[in-house]
């Protein structure tokens, strides 16, 4: 089945004329709900883990005119269970779909949230943009560098609102801390460290077997190259296989690398070196459980990411980001649970405090997404697709360096590797797609 065509989802001229009279409606070719009093109909995809969190957060905004009307998952058992739970929350049964393409054919849906495995994020986002839907897509936005850029292009071409699930960008304490760093509270920053400490045990070995009848493994594979089904893939441990995930640095590391980039106020570095391995046990997984990556900017600023999935100390008590400056340093812990930060030495020593918005970071982030859907202004988003793409490039660079075992140079303008090793490195910038699940060159 071909990707959904945008033209087939345009409103009729009568609908668009009526919509133009609604206060707050954007002019031009953008379409979708924007009126402050209109109901926003959403759908969620990938329901086993984070996707169910999406549904609950969005239902928490029902007082603001938001409803979750449909769910999508390749596991029919998961789909049935979550649909039943959602039906109790909204007093009505949601529509259910196994194939996201069928979901996107529903013209009444205004936005979808994507919490599938990483290798599905780009194609689902591009298809949704083509179908005239706004998108909330989980981190990391992409499986490889090229895909992230295509997501940005599709978002802009179809004038969609696309929010990335890097919810710390809606945390007022983190925003204030990053702004203070950029303003010079610790002087000139010469290095950042992102500490990604998450203990994980061996996943063992699972033998290839026939997929259960309730799992559509062909759809689960989607854009990825075919490989046998085994129980370490569905539903979580796909993170540790290169065909589908990006390892811990692309799983939790993306949050911390993004905060580091926020504090630096920078885009992409020009050099990367990464090393590590899978230590203390042997299992079926492929990605490192221990990894150190150093990314260097053109002015010499270093961004270090330290991944540890085995036993470790907290260095000391910090499980987050540290910024080192000419007049002090700033450190903050647990970014997903209200990280603020504290500046030590130099110009000032101060806690970074700010009155939090109601609830945790996630509802604030979803509410920001809904508000931007109504205003149709990309600049109203706290984490637009471009920001998600730029931060994802950081760990993609690190993983490519790790897999090749060498230092690499990078051109931020072309988003390609240059110099020694570039030919081999650039093979990892994109991927070979399994038709018909292809992220196109021209979106």
Q: What is the pLDDT along the chain (443 residues), one digit of tens a residue?
A: 444 443 343 333 333 322 332 223 233 333 455 566 689 999 999 999 899 999 999 999 999 999 999 999 999 999 999 999 999 999 999 999 999 999 999 999 999 999 999 999 999 999 999 999 999 999 999 999 999 999 999 999 999 999 999 999 998 888 888 888 999 989 999 999 999 999 999 999 999 999 999 999 999 999 999 999 999 999 999 999 999 999 999 999 999 999 999 999 999 999 999 999 999 999 999 999 999 999 999 999 999 999 999 998 877 556 689 999 998 888 876 544 334 567 777 655 666 665 444 434 455 899 999 999 999 999 999 999 999 999 999 999 999 999 999 999 999 999 999 999 999 999 999 999 999 999 999 99
Q: What are 137's two structure tokens?
A: 């897509």
User: Where do you find CATH 3.30.360.10 in the chain?
Assistant: 170-204+232-355+390-428
Fold category of 170-204+232-355+390-428 in CATH: Dihydrodipicolinate Reductase; domain 2 (3.30.360)
Please list, residue by residue across 107-128, b when 16 or more beta carbons sit within 10 angstroms of its beta carbon and e when fewer do.
Answer: eebbbbbbbbbbbbbbbbbbbb
Architecture of domain 6-168+363-384 in CATH?
3-Layer(aba) Sandwich (3.40)
pTM of the entire predicted model: 0.89
CB under 8 A, 24+ apart: contacts of 282-285: 282/202, 283/202, 283/203, 283/204, 283/205, 284/203, 284/204, 284/205, 284/206, 284/230, 284/232, 285/203, 285/232, 285/237, 285/240, 285/241
Q: Give residues with Cβ within 8 angstroms of 114, minimum separation 6.
A: 45, 46, 120, 121, 124, 125, 128, 135, 136, 137, 138
User: Where do you find CATH 3.40.50.720 in the chain?
Assistant: 6-168+363-384
């Amino acid at each position: 089945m071909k990707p959904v065509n945008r033209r087939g989802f345009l409103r009729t001229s009568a609908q668009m004329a009526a919509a133009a009279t609604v206060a707050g409606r954007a002019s031009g070719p953008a379409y979708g709900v924007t009126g402050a009093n209109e109901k926003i109909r959403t759908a969620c995809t990938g329901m086993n883990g984070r996707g169910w969190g999406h549904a609950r957060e969005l239902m928490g905004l029902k007082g603001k005119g938001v409803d979750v009307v449909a769910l999508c998952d390749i596991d029919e058992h998961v789909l049935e269970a979550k649909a039943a739970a959602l039906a109790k929350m909204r007093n009505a049964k949601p529509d259910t779909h196994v194939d996201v393409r069928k979901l996107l054919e529903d013209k009444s849906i205004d936005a979808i949230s994507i919490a599938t495995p990483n290798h599905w994020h780009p194609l689902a986002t591009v298809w949704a943009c083509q179908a005239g839907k706004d998108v909330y897509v989980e981190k990391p936005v992409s499986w490889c560098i090229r895909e992230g850029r295509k997501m940005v292009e599709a978002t802009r071409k179809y004038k969609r609102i696309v929010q990335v699930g890097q919810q710390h960008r809606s945390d007022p304490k983190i925003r204030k801390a990053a702004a203070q760093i950029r303003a010079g509270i610790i002087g000139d920053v010469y290095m950042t460290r992102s500490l990604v400490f998450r203990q994980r045990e061996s996943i063992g070995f699972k033998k290839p077997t026939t997929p259960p009848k309730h799992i559509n493994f062909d759809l689960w594979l989607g854009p990825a190259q075919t490989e046998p089904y085994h129980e370490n893939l569905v539903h979580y441990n796909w993170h540790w296989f290169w065909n589908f995930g990006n390892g811990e640095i692309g799983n939790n590391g993306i949050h911390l690398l993004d905060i580091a980039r926020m504090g630096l106020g920078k885009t992409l570095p020009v050099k990367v070196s990464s090393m590590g391995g899978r230590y203390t046990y042997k299992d079926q997984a492929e990605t490192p459980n221990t990894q150190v990556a150093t990314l260097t900017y053109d002015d010499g600023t270093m961004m270090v990411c330290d991944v540890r999935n085995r036993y470790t100390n907290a260095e000391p008590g910090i499980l987050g980001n540290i910024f080192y400056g000419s007049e002090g340093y700033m450190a903050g812990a647990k970014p997903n649970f209200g990280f603020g930060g504290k500046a030590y030495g130099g110009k000032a020593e101060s806690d970074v405090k700010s009155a939090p918005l109601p609830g945790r970071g996630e509802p604030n982030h979803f509410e920001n997404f809904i508000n931007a859907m109504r205003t149709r202004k990309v600049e109203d988003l706290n984490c637009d697709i471009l920001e998600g793409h730029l931060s994802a490039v950081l760990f993609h660079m690190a993983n490519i360096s790790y897999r090749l075992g060498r230092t690499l140079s990078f051109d931020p303008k072309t988003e390609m590797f240059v110099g020694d090793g570039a030919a081999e490195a650039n093979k990892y910038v994109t991927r070979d797609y399994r038709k018909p699940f292809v992220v196109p060159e021209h979106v």
